């Protein structure tokens, strides 16, 4: 049975769901592949996740696809999390699947407008997130931290910088004994570097935003939730539960929306046939990014053994909401 406890982290306390906090928590550490600019977080001897700051090459046998107008898409990309691991070291994300542009846990949009031109960061076509700088990299017994700066560059030839993306990743220790859990937070701030910039979901489809593409697994269940308008506060999350290969038990990944996000709460798009979902902000519309005015999107990921109850999910969201 999970219960609410409070854990002090960097001068603040917040509640998380667990059975107990082990006294001998293994410390975090970062393993850095400087050649590829991959940052793999370890907790003790087990991997937690990898942030791909540099480009990830196309695997053998994977080919570019093409839009009807001939433009290629789905090639090398960077700035995403994969693999994301479960609590026993099992992989929970997929990369370069049948939709070759799908990539682990990532934030992007099919519509990236610059003045009268539109490119596709989602499909990796005519606009790219280029690595600029790792601004912070810390690891200890209570938290691991990574801050990365990327610049969106528009156009195959001109590579014109249009958006600065600042990402902060905070990962907290695994907690619990019988039903263990792990939390990490992803905060992304987008700042337009010029006029005429906007982001948007796929026209007529609405998909885009923070997206989870799961590794194929048995007994998949995707459970999106947005509280009724009468609820105060109004929670929003999506739970993905499955029997992942290599896991010792059924495992869930919960993606929680923060109530400070623009457009909150955002409805979820669910694609069970390809193991994928996202809170689809801003949907089938364009959201302007005014020059020099930061826009921040915050999400929390909770990986937990078993399937949390709706009440446990409400408590987990409430803990995130108050931070």
For residue 13, is pLDDT > 80?
Answer: no
- pTM: predicted TM-score of the whole model, two decimal places: 0.92
Is the peptide bond between 233 and the residue preceding it cis, with omega within 30 degrees of 0?
yes
Mean of pLDDT over the chain: 93
For residue 264, is pLDDT > 60?
Answer: yes
For residue 152, is pLDDT > 50?
Answer: yes
pLDDT confidence of residue 24: 58
For residue 280, is pLDDT > 80?
Answer: yes
Provide CB contacts within 8 A for 23, sequence distance 6+.
Answer: none
Provide CB contacts within 8 A for 311, sequence distance 6+.
Answer: none
Cβ(238)–Cβ(255) below 8 Å: yes
CA distance 51 to 10: 22
For residue 3, is pLDDT > 80?
Answer: no
Residue range 158-176, pLDDT digits in tens: 899 999 999 999 999 999 8
Tokens 């433009």, residue?
Answer: 71
**DSSP string of 203-250?**
TTT---EEEEEBPP-EEEEEEEEE--TT-SS--EEEEEEEE-TT-SS-
Residue range 32-79, pLDDT digits in tens: 999 999 999 999 999 999 999 999 999 999 999 999 999 999 999 999
Report, as an integer, the average pLDDT of 177-196.
94
| Element containing residue 127 per DSSP (H, E) | strand 127-139
pLDDT band per the 50, 70, 90 thresholds, residue 179: confident
CA distance 212 to 219: 17
**Portion of the chain with pLDDT greater than 90, in percent:** 88
For residue 122, is pLDDT > 70?
Answer: yes
CA distance 206 to 226: 17
For residue 309, is pLDDT > 80?
Answer: yes
pLDDT confidence of residue 21: 41
Residue range 199-231, pLDDT digits in tens: 999 999 999 999 999 999 999 999 999 999 999
pLDDT confidence of residue 57: 95
**Right CATH number for 3-56+69-321 from 1.10.760, 1.20.120, 3.30.1540, 2.70.98?**
2.70.98
Provide CB contacts within 8 A for 93, sequence distance 6+.
Answer: 81, 82, 83, 84, 104, 105, 212, 213, 214, 215
């Amino acid at each position: 049975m999970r219960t609410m406890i409070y854990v002090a982290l960097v001068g603040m306390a917040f509640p998380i769901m667990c059975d107990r906090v082990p006294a001998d928590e293994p410390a975090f550490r970062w393993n850095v592949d400087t050649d590829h600019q991959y940052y793999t977080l370890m907790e003790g001897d087990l991997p937690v996740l990898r942030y791909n700051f540099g480009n990830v090459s196309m695997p053998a046998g994977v080919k570019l696809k093409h839009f009807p107008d001939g433009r290629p898409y789905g090639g090398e990309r960077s700035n995403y999390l994969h693999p994301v691991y479960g609590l026993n070291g099992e992989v929970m994300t997929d990369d370069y699947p049948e939709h070759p542009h799908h990539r682990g846990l990532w934030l992007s949009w099919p519509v990236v407008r610059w003045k009268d031109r539109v490119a596709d960061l989602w499909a990796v076509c005519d606009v790219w997130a280029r690595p600029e700088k790792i601004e912070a990299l810390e690891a200890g017994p209570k938290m691991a931290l990574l801050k990365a700066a990327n610049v969106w560059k528009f156009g195959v030839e001109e590579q014109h910088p249009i958006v600065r993306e600042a990402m902060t990743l905070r990962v907290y220790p695994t907690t619990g004994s019988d039903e263990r859990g792990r939390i990490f937070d992803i905060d992304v701030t987008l700042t337009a570097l010029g006029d005429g910039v906007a982001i948007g979901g796929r026209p007529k489809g609405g998909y885009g935003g923070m997206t989870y593409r799961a590794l194929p697994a048995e007994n998949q269940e995707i459970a999106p939730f947005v509280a009724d308008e009468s609820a105060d506060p109004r929670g929003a999350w999506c739970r993905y539960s499955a029997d992942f290969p290599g896991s010792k038990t059924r495992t869930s990944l919960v993606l929680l929306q923060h109530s400070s996000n623009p457009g909150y709460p955002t409805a979820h798009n669910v694609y069970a046939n390809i193991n994928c979902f996202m809170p689809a902000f801003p949907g089938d519309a364009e959201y302007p990014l005014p020059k020099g005015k930061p826009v921040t999107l915050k999400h929390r990921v909770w990986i937990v053994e078993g399937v949390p109850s709706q009440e446990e999910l409400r408590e987990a969201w409430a803990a995130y909401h108050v931070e």
